[in-house]
Amino acid sequence: MNIIPLCRVWFENSCGQQSVIKDNANTWAEAYTAIKEFINENNKRKIAMGKKPFKIYYTRIWKQEDGRTRIDVGSHTEFFIWEGDIECGS
């Protein structure tokens, strides 16, 4: 029996609090799609409150010491984290 690792995508707010936004993103494409969907949902709430929506102007990606992938989409204070092992793909 093959065990497929859960490669979660986390959102980390500016206070360092983390929450899972997707439980199973086994490829980079799935992880990035989850990030864009999360931003789009948050933008709907912002627009309804009369606030300016967030736009991804760039994406920086790097491996943390714990092996997880940290993703900066331009907020400077909030990040996404894609966790999993090497078998999660690229």
Give per-residue pLDDT as tens, 22-71.
998 888 889 999 999 999 999 999 999 999 999 999 999 888 898 899 99
State the pLDDT at residue 84. 59
Total-model pTM = 0.84
Pairing of the two strands 69-72 and 79-82: antiparallel
| β-bridge partners, 84 | none
78 burial type by CB count under 10 A (0-12 exposed, 13-18 middle, 19+ buried): middle
Averaged pLDDT for residues 72-89: 78
* CA–CA gap between residue 24 and residue 63 (Å, rounded): 19
Split at pLDDT 50, 70, 90, the class of 87 is very low
Q: Are 24 and 10 in contact (CB under 8 A)?
A: no
